[in-house]
Structure 1
Amino acid sequence: MNTHSANLAFAAINDGKANFDDIYVSADPRRYFSVLGQLDYIIPHLAQPIFNQLIQARAEQQDEPVTVLDLGCSYGVNGALMKYALGYDAIRERYISPHLQSLSSQELVAHDHSFYRAWPKHEGVRVIGLDVSENAVRYARESGAIDLGYALDLEREDPTPAQAEQLAKADIIVSTGCVGYVTAKTFHRLAKLARKGRPAWVASFVLRMFPFRPVAQTLADQGLVTEQFEGATFVQRRFATLDEMDKTVRAVESLGFDPYGREADGFYHADLFVSRPQAEIDRLPLRDIVSVVSGANKPWPVGASVLSGMSKPARRVARERERRAAAAN
């Protein structure tokens, strides 16, 4: 699939997703967590230990702190989880707390700055955030969730020389859901920025309905080989509607994947791809860096709002499940 075809495919698939554009441009994260919290949005929680494992592996190769570029950083959730010794639940519960709802955005960001400073900080990590939302990047930077941030659309424009100088300092580029909104164009612009001749590692959590091959090929053109983490997929959130579930199940099936036990159960699932130079893969394969704790993959129950009725694709998968169970017996 060429880049143009991939862009068209991404656009068509996104038509089936619930639109949450408004929550990403709010002045602060409260609406973001209010809306996505109702859908059990948990991918930052699942990504946190994996990003920490990658940071540790990279830190063993260098003396200076590891600089992480969070692509699609939004309000800096991933950044905060990498910079500070706190968990996702602490952040999520903070923003839905009734005690914070009456504060202005200016008051809240001041509170958040103090909140983050109260937590132990991982001194060996520096986080740069990149997102198209000026409000989100500004909030992430002012709260202290990230160290540096840019509101920049690399799908349409190159970074300025000053921005490129900072982005080139990234040792690891991470993302937890922006692939599908951004394409190989963004990764091409980032991958060209090699720090002292050492390309950044790229760790991407990608919803299974989006083909990653065009991005992997672009990274390969810059000398990076992509490994897919085997043995687990990662829940992003519940589907907002049955229509969203229907379209996602069809998109996943069209790529040759089985939605049984994953999308057909009411959740978006993501694969993890990590791209590095071949020499580094030979020295330390992904399976020796990343481990997933059993049971951490889906800590919350399926919500009745999605599965109160079953769509045609879901019913088809359910029938197949019954056939498999009967055959096993």
Structure 2
Amino acid sequence: MGNASAAVPPVIAVVGPTGSGKSDLAVALAHRLDAEIINADAMQFYRGMDIGTAKITVAERQDVPHHLLDILDVQQEASVSAFQQQARASIAEIHGRGRRAILVGGSGLYVRAALDVIDFPGTEPGLRVQLEAELDAQGLQAMRERLAAVDPISAARLGDARRVVRALEVHALTGRPFSSYMPDRRYWQPAVQIGLEVERDELKERLALRVHRMVEQGLLDEVRRLAAHGLRDGKTAPRALGYSQFLRVLDGQLSIEGAVEETIVATRKFARRQLTWFRADPRIRWLPWKDKLLVDKAAAEVAKLGQ
């Protein structure tokens, strides 16, 4: 369990697909357990990305302290290794005040980074720039073929150009395949994960309604405002669901209706990937998302590990 002592209370994580009600459950649990919340949604790190990420508002936080929201400008790149350090520091600080820590979010790798024994290899900016230049010159397929020669597991799993470049960088720096950095599932300190079990057809409809509501709330204006502050210059933020589509609206490449439909499709696909990721973790205790006794049952799961 790493360097945790038996006296340390378990870290609580609330996980599941986007739109499943994680934030609401986390706030209710925080009130029940005298806890503070740590954000583990990578896109909610960004200042100003509020509507499109369904970021919990100040009113919705109900006076529960929230950590690691609004910590990056849109030009900055989110880093899972930096998050690991920040999340663990926040957990230690919260526990040091005698309170509980609740991690909440749907970014699976970020949740694992905070909870599990995982080391993240470093980075070398010069090498990254070189690999990105080779990507531009040779194309993604050629880079994937290079990766397949040294790390076939990652080559088969990664389709995203940025991650393929990262996997090649890690191999060049360490001599180890990128895939070797995802070890067995072992908690770094005691933890309990609560997963929200969703009704998939209902979630599909809910996600579509949510995208329409984001547009009504002013998503296009939010993207326009962020574009003026360098959104397109970022590596992580402009790829966020909704933001990439509505940047194309601003550029005259897509209608608002087309952006809405593309965002709905992309959000549903993302939710399916999240479910696949979290379903692969046998340690998660799944509870029905609409159970009237959800908070009671979640608190009971936490109590099983001791107060």
- TM-score higher than 0.5 here? no
Higher helix share: 2
TM-score (norm 2): 0.29
Q: Of the two structures, which has the highest relative contact order with CA contacts closer than 8 Å and spacing of 6 or more? A: 2
TM-score (norm 1): 0.28
Higher strand share: 1
